Each structure stands twice: as C-alpha cells, then as structure tokens.
Amino acid sequence: MKATSIGRLGDDPALAWSRKLQVEVGGAGTVAQAGVVLPRLLADRLGLTTGLAQVVARVGLVPLRHRGRLLVDATCALAAGSTCLSDIEAMTAQEELFGPGGGASDSTMLRALDELAERLGRDGLPGRRLAQTTAAARVNAWAQILARHEQLPAVKVAGKDLTRPATEPGRKPRPVLVIRLDATLIEAASPKAQAVGTYRGGFGFHPLTSWCGNIGDALAVMQRPGNAGSFTASDHLAVVKASFAQIPAPWRSDVLVSIDGAGASHEVIDHLSALNTAPAHGRRGRRVEYTIGWPVDERTLAGHRPPCPPTGRKANQTRRGPRLGVRGGAPPTPPADSCSSSTPGTAPKPTSKTGSSSRPAAPATCPRSTTTATPPGASSPLGDLADRLAAPPRTRR
C-alpha cells in the first residue's frame, strides 16, 4: 500500500493515523487482522469518519474520544470477528492496527452508540442528517467504481446482463439499478428489546433490509420485532423511500425494485407505479419497474406437471381432427396427436379391429388427463353417437 498524505484526507486529527502508512508482507513484528486497516482507511477517504462525528456532535460537549473514529473502529472490529463491546475494546487496543492511544473502553463505546441511536428513528431507519451523511459517502464510493470500471456491474437475469443500450456511441451499455427488499430472521440468545417469538418458532428479530443488487451495497435496514408481519405494506414503503434516498441522483432514473411475495399488496404496487414517471415525461421522467413474486428455483420447477409424451407428429404435418370409432359404451380414445388436460381419455395405442368395431389395447394414462371409465352395459352418449354415425345411410324411396 502506498503512503497516504494527511493533506488529501483533510484537517481532521482523527485521520492522522494513516500518514506515511505502509503495509509489508512478512518480516518481523507481524500482526493478525491486518486487513482491518483497509475498511478503516476507506471510511476516512470517503468522508464517513468526519461525517459521523458531525452528526452525533452536541452543543457544549467536546468528547475526549473522536466519535467518528470510535464508530468506524467499532464497525471494523465487528467485521474482523468481534461479537461484543469487550471484544471491540480488546481489538482496537492494538496500536499496530488502530494507532497509538489504544481502544476505547466498553463504557465509552456504549455512550457513543447511545448518541448514534438518538439520530435514528424508532424503526431504526436513519434520520435526515445521518441519511445525508451516509448518502454523501456512497456518492464518493460509487464515483471511484465508475472511475475504474466506467459502469456499475450489471445484474444477470437468465444468464444475461440487465442493461439498457448506450446513449452515446462507443460507451458501454448502462446497467439497470436493482433494489432488492427482503426480510430476515435474527436469533437472539437472551431476551433483548423487541426480541420475541418468530413465525418459524424461534426467538429474536425480524428486520426488513434493502440492498443494491449490482454491488451488494446495504441501503437501508428497518429494525422490527420478531413477530412483525411479512406483508406489512407500510414497512415496505418506508424502506423503499429510505433506499431511494441513499442512491446517488444519476442512478435513480432507471431502477428495478425486486420484492418477494411479501410485497404483493395494492399499497406497494400503487406506490411503485406512481414512482414510474417515464410514460408521462419521457426522458425527463424516471423509469421505475418492479418484480414481485418468488424466485424460479428447483423447488418451483419441481411443482410443475411433467409434459405430455411426444406425439410423433412431424413438422408441418396437418393435425387431424378427432374420429369416433368406439362402440359398446367404452370411453373414446383421443386422436394420436392430442393430449390435453381438459379432454378425458387415455393415451393413443394401437388398436385391433374386428369387423366394424375397434378394441383398444392396454392404454397408458396421460399424465395431464384423468380417465373416467363407464361401467359395462351402461350407455354412453358418445357411444350412441358413434353407433348412429357408423350406421349405413337410409335410402328414400
């Protein structure tokens, strides 16, 4: 890694740790979890460290610990495997990774989390200032992706990239931005706030999350209790609004919102339809499409009925109509090239003829049809009709 100049990162003293930073592989004095330096440095360069400190700042209070540095270090420690406040304190105490001074105590970390919670709503979605800070950092992050790859990665649908044709010659096709909404279950080991029984018999939480399918970026998370409903339309609408607020403005013009069957409500569909202003305003409008339902996976494919056996009819061969050649009240045999779920009968088989009657061989049931047998000696309307059609015509004198 190249050395980083503090002048490029701003005048915040919390960013001075990365000045003349160098990473070497091997040698004496190696440390574990060296990769935690990368997300820490990334947060500094995107402006997230300074922005968080400004969001949680309070008038008349000058904390000894930089709140932005503290929150970013806690996030990096969680990504490295920490599970509680004491783990965060132990990991951030490594001066080789987190700079001199050591990590904050668990009580200081708890106060910082309380200050951040005041900037969240009751549903866990960020307030106005916090949402603006994270959106500004996301603009800088996406700008770096575009500078290197020219476009965001495209989501693949049926093995093909979901893109729009390029508007300028020589440019790459523009991918459609995909927002994926999905709820998840998080188990709780102890009775915490909002931890209740879930619909699957567990105990914990049922948050509703939103992700950018192109790069796997988490856009919004709504904190909900474990017994929260899956089809709550108001929760889906709130997460959709918070997700659009996090997307950089140039990428809001062509969006595909993907929700599973929990989004199949009139309120959600009407809201997404209202966001689609492209039909009314053309290029000046915003194209918002949606797909609501379950994925077509192996379980879905297994639920489909098997296809009918091949009929053996050649290409461009004229389909013949049904012929009535059954006597004695037996169920009619369908034609050789027909197999329908609405026509009762059996699959075609070779027949042995005796005189003017046909005796069908052992039939095989079509998987899409149901066979209704007629008791021996009973009259069948189709059998009577066949007798009359097979009789020789009468001659008038």
**Which of 245, 216, 279 is closest to 139 using CA atoms?**
245
CA–CA separation, 175 and 267 (whole Å): 28
Q: How many CB atoms lie within 10 A of CB 275?
A: 20
Residue 83 pLDDT > 80, yes or no? yes
The residue out of 281, 296, 311 marking a domain boundary is 296
Task: Give the confidence band of 318 by pLDDT, cuts at 50, 70, 90.
Answer: low
Shared domain for 95 and 230, answered yes or no, is no
CA–CA separation, 374 and 167 (whole Å): 67
Shared domain for 190 and 59, answered yes or no, is no
Shared domain for 109 and 163, answered yes or no, is no
Is residue 230 a part of any domain in this protein? yes
Is residue 394 a part of any domain in this protein? no
The β-bridge relationship of strands 254-259 and 177-183 is: parallel
Q: Distances from the Cα of 296 to the Cαs of 184, 230, 255, 307, in angstroms?
A: 20, 20, 21, 18
Is residue 346 a part of any domain in this protein? no
CA–CA separation, 304 and 172 (whole Å): 39
pLDDT in tens, 173-225: 899 999 999 999 999 988 888 899 998 899 999 999 999 999 999 999 999 99
Helical H segments across 295-348, by residue range: 298-302
pLDDT in tens, 226-259: 999 988 999 999 999 999 999 999 999 999 999 9
Using an 8 Å Cβ cutoff, are 365 and 371 in contact? yes
Overall average pLDDT of the 283-295 stretch: 86
Task: Give the confidence band of 13 by pLDDT, cuts at 50, 70, 90.
Answer: confident
**Least trusted range by pLDDT, from 99-103, 137-141, 185-189, 263-267:** 99-103
**Residue 281 has what pLDDT?**
82
The distance of Cα 321 from the centroid of its chain, to the nearest Å, equals: 48
The β-bridge relationship of strands 287-292 and 163-164 is: unpaired
CA–CA separation, 23 and 371 (whole Å): 76
Is residue 97 a part of any domain in this protein? yes
DSSP-derived letter for residue 33 is: -
Task: Give the confidence band of 389 by pLDDT, cuts at 50, 70, 90.
Answer: low
Residue 35 pLDDT > 70, yes or no? yes
Is residue 94 a part of any domain in this protein? yes
- Tell me the two tokens of residue 5: 């100049």
Convert 266-283 into a string of H (helix), E (strand) and C (coil): HHHHHHHHHHCCHHHHHH
**Residue 372 has what pLDDT?**
41
> Considering the chain, what percentage of its residues have pLDDT values greater than 90?
36
Shared domain for 37 and 158, answered yes or no, is no
In 225-347, which ranges are E strands?
254-259, 287-292
Is residue 308 a part of any domain in this protein? no
Which amino acid belongs to residue 44? D
- Tell me the two tokens of residue 94: 């490594």
Shared domain for 111 and 46, answered yes or no, is yes
Shared domain for 69 and 165, answered yes or no, is no
Shared domain for 79 and 195, answered yes or no, is no
Task: Give the confidence band of 356 by pLDDT, cuts at 50, 70, 90.
Answer: very low
With residues binned 3-state (H G I as helix, E B as strand, rest as coil), the percentages for the chain, rounded to 5, are 35, 15, 50
Using an 8 Å Cβ cutoff, are 277 and 285 in contact? yes
Is residue 145 a part of any domain in this protein? no
Instruction: Look up the pTM and report it.
Output: 0.69
Shared domain for 255 and 201, answered yes or no, is yes
Shared domain for 197 and 83, answered yes or no, is no
**Which of 335, 348, 342 is closest to 369 using CA atoms?**
342
Q: How many domains does the chain have?
A: 2
- Tell me the two tokens of residue 183: 């709820």
- Tell me the two tokens of residue 204: 């914990």
Shared domain for 157 and 108, answered yes or no, is no
Is residue 312 a part of any domain in this protein? no
Domain span at residue 283 reads 151-296
Shared domain for 64 and 183, answered yes or no, is no
The residue out of 275, 296, 317 marking a domain boundary is 296
Shared domain for 175 and 280, answered yes or no, is yes
